[in-house]
Amino acid sequence: MAAFSDSESSPSNSVQAGTLDLTLDGSEQTVTFLDVSNAEPGDQGQSSVTLGNTGSVAGIPEIEVDALRSTENGYYGRENGQDSTPNDGELDEHLELRVSIGGTTIFPRTTADSISVGNSYTASSAIAGGGSITFTVEWWLPSDTSDLAQSDGFEFDLTFRLQQA
pLDDT of amino acid 18: 92
In a domain, 14, yes or no: no
pLDDT of amino acid 148: 81
Give the residue numbers spanning the domain of 151: 22-29+41-77+85-164
d(CA 95, CA 144) in angstroms, rounded, equals 11
In a domain, 136, yes or no: yes
pLDDT of amino acid 32: 93
d(CA 61, CA 24) in angstroms, rounded, equals 12
The set of residues, in sequence order, having a beta carbon less than 8 Å from that of 105 and lying 6+ positions away, is 98, 99
How many distinct structural domains can be found in the chain?
1
Residuewise pLDDT in 10s, the chain (165 residues): 788 988 899 999 999 899 999 999 999 888 999 999 999 999 999 999 999 999 999 999 999 999 999 888 765 555 455 555 556 778 999 999 999 999 999 999 999 999 999 999 999 999 999 999 999 999 999 999 988 888 889 999 999 999 999
Per-state percent for the chain, helix, strand, coil, to nearest 5: 5, 40, 55
pLDDT of amino acid 2: 80
In a domain, 1, yes or no: no
pLDDT of amino acid 84: 57
In a domain, 111, yes or no: yes
- Domain at 51, CATH number: 2.60.120
In a domain, 4, yes or no: no
